A and B are shown apart, each in its own frame.
Chain A
């Protein structure tokens, strides 16, 4: 149980394009979903927290107009990297939790490469 699916797992695109990453909780309803990014040999950095039906809360230093988050249902959240540039290349990981105090369950991540 508690499976989180992330898609795509790997994407390469040209600078200036927008990229959408999907995060789905397959066997539970996720009241809260989280988005992280991770650079090589570094730890995960929390980008934003999203609750179903409400606006996402972004961590300090994360541009909300650059990283658009939509959490339209209890099983789906999307992260759109708008007008992506090479410095946005990173490993993006989502997680989901169905209630407070319960563990977060993570997807397998999306490796984004901007040329």
Chain B
């Protein structure tokens, strides 16, 4: 069975400062991991994904995440926050094998102040 825990329900940063959104996962198989972003009244958009290749994954809008098997973590980072980054972020795990479900975390709300 797969599960994911997002360690912070709400993160607040100032514009131009680094962003860290934390995610731990549990999976019986080699997992595939994803980060999605959801802006208010908009659909879910994929930020980046890890599917057993490079452990440091770069995504859109300057975000990146590192897969650490020993820590069962997949934290999302960005060197410098922008006002437009304010949104809900979801860490998602799947069993890795095709056909297994994508399981969402509860989400982290990122607020960015000027």
Q: Do A and B come from one complex?
A: no
Which residues of A are interface residues toward B (Cβ below 8 A)? Answer: none
